Amino acid sequence: MSRQIDSKQIADVREALLIWIETYLTDRPTSMRLIMVAIALETLAAELRQRAREE
């Protein structure tokens, strides 16, 4: 089952995730685990953008 994902949806998800990460990082000590989560989420967003372009 394929679901269409448009650029606006990807941007909205990315923005929400980045806001959450920034908020979380300011409330707690910075750790390598959180930085790795941020990198993984950014990689996921890039992959979703690429898939959206291909569809």
Percent of the chain with pLDDT over 70: 75
Q: pLDDT band at 1, cuts 50/70/90?
A: very low
Q: Map residue 1 onto helix, strand or coil.
A: coil
Q: DSSP state, 28?
A: S
Q: What is the pTM of this model?
A: 0.47
Q: What is the spatial distance between Cα 52 and Cα 4, in angstroms, rounded to a whole number?
A: 8
Contact 41, 16 (CB under 8 A): no
**CA angle (16 as vertex; 53, 10 as ends), nearest 5:** 10
Q: For the residues 28-51, what does the mean pLDDT come to?
A: 79
14-33: pLDDT as tens digits: 888 788 777 766 666 667 66
Q: For the residues 31-48, what does the mean pLDDT come to?
A: 80
Q: DSSP state, 26?
A: H
Q: For the residues 3-22, what does the mean pLDDT come to?
A: 79
